[in-house]
């Protein structure tokens, strides 16, 4: 059988077909300007974090970023994706995670192999000086919307809160956890947001009452522990009841999360076709060009003579 040209071959690598049906649980406090999401990646965390060999602190950082992207993408009201990206001058020079509106989740980190990362290293130490970017992508017909702030804080949660404060001018509290448990690697998040102007939820509340309701919600959320976030046996509904039962917490419809790498031979073959022929010749080794998907760590092999490319300058 003749092999399909790369631009027609939409096949994808053999990656895990794994979904968590109740990965994101939205919630709100009735009659108060407070809403949020609880994210539990469950076994999906172990699957995503096992695609590369990383030290535990790096895995934990990536796990937290995956949970954060899932939480923020769940607020999308259109078909698209939300990405969290950090670049810095530390041993972790790049961190990228993204999640679609349907919950397809992926991520990777770029690590300097020459630098030893201590087991106790935090996000600030691993990323160093740089920036944090949140990007909403609505597809090819729309320009991406992006906000960028400097990396400020020792943890990814504090960096995200700094972003909300200085880029969105929206009060938010972010709680992230990732680590190895008896059930394997797990990652989780709780994101709490104050709705601007009460969002029509509590139109009769004074500004002072709205501020007090937000302060109370934050104080209650601060009692959350890392162990509670990572506990598979503690359902999100029960966790929210522990935190906010005195506020009458209500939950929305759960949303799924899934292994979401979107690579394919067709996509990567199209990228190769945009290179000049001279560059393609230099890429080829023993007659083949190998492209590796950074997200799922899968090697795509293309025969050099099957890629036309474009004439050199």
Q: What's the pLDDT band for 288 if we cut at 50, 70, 90?
A: confident
Q: The CATH number of the domain where 44 resides is what?
A: 3.55.30.10
> CA-CA distance, 263 to 251, in Å (whole number)?
34
pLDDT at 197 over 70: no
> CA-CA distance, 293 to 136, in Å (whole number)?
22
The reply to whether 312 falls in a domain is no
The reply to whether 103 falls in a domain is yes
Nearest in space to 2 (alpha carbons), one of 307, 306, 308:
306
Q: What's the pLDDT band for 9 if we cut at 50, 70, 90?
A: very low
Q: What is the pLDDT of residues 71-103, one digit of tens each?
A: 999 988 888 899 999 999 999 999 999 999 999
Q: What is the pLDDT of residues 228-287, one digit of tens each?
A: 999 999 999 999 999 999 999 999 999 999 987 776 677 778 788 888 888 888 888 888
The reply to whether 258 falls in a domain is no
- Measured between alpha carbons, how far apart are the two ends of the chain, in Å? 36
* Containing structural domain, residue 160: 22-251
The reply to whether 241 falls in a domain is yes
pLDDT at 112 over 50: yes
pLDDT at 8 over 50: no
The reply to whether 304 falls in a domain is no
Which residue would you say has higher pLDDT here, 129 or 141? Answer: 129
Answer yes or no: are the C-beta atoms of 47 and 17 closer than 8 Å. no
The reply to whether 14 falls in a domain is no
The reply to whether 147 falls in a domain is yes
Q: 234: which DSSP letter?
A: S
CA distances for 180 relative to 42, 50, 111, angstroms: 11, 12, 20
> CA-CA distance, 191 to 133, in Å (whole number)?
17
pLDDT at 2 over 50: no
> CA-CA distance, 115 to 265, in Å (whole number)?
33
Least confident span in 1-15, 173-187, 256-270, 274-288: 1-15
Number of domains in the chain: 1
Q: Exposure string (b/e) for 254-263, b if CB count within 10 Å is 16 or more? A: bbebbbbbeb
The reply to whether 223 falls in a domain is yes
CA distances for 142 relative to 101, 260, 284, 294, angstroms: 16, 22, 35, 25
């Amino acid at each position: 059988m003749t092999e399909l040209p790369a631009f027609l071959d939409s096949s994808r690598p053999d990656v895990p077909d794994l979904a968590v049906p109740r990965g994101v649980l939205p919630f709100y406090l009735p009659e108060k300007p407070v809403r949020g999401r609880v994210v539990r990646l469950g076994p999906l965390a172990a699957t995503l974090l096992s695609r590369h060999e990383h030290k535990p602190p790096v895995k934990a950082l990536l796990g937290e970023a995956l949970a954060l992207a899932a939480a923020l993408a769940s607020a999308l009201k259109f078909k698209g994706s939300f990405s969290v990206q950090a670049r810095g001058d530390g041993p972790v020079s790049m961190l990228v995670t993204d999640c679609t509106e349907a919950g397809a989740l992926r991520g990777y980190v770029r690590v300097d192999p020459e630098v030893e990362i201590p087991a106790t290293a935090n996000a600030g130490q691993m990323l160093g000086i740089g920036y944090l970017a949140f990007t909403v992508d609505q597809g090819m017909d729309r320009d991406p919307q992006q906000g960028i702030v400097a990396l400020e804080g020792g943890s990814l949660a504090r960096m995200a809160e700094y972003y909300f404060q200085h880029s969105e001018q929206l009060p938010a509290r972010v709680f992230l956890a990732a680590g190895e448990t008896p059930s394997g690697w797990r990652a989780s998040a709780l994101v709490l947001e104050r709705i601007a102007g009460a969002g029509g939820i509590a139109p009769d509340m004074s500004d002072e009452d709205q501020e007090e309701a937000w302060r109370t919600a934050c104080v209650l959320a601060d009692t959350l522990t890392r162990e509670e976030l990572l506990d598979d046996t503690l359902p999100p509904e029960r966790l929210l009841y522990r935190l906010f039962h005195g506020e009458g917490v209500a939950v929305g419809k759960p949303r799924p999360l899934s292994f979401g790498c979107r690579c394919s031979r067709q996509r990567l073959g199209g990228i190769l076709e945009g290179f000049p022929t001279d560059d393609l010749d230099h890429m080829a080794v023993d007659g083949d060009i190998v492209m590796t998907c950074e997200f799922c760590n899968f090697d795509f092999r293309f025969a050099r003579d099957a890629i036309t490319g474009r004439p050199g300058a």
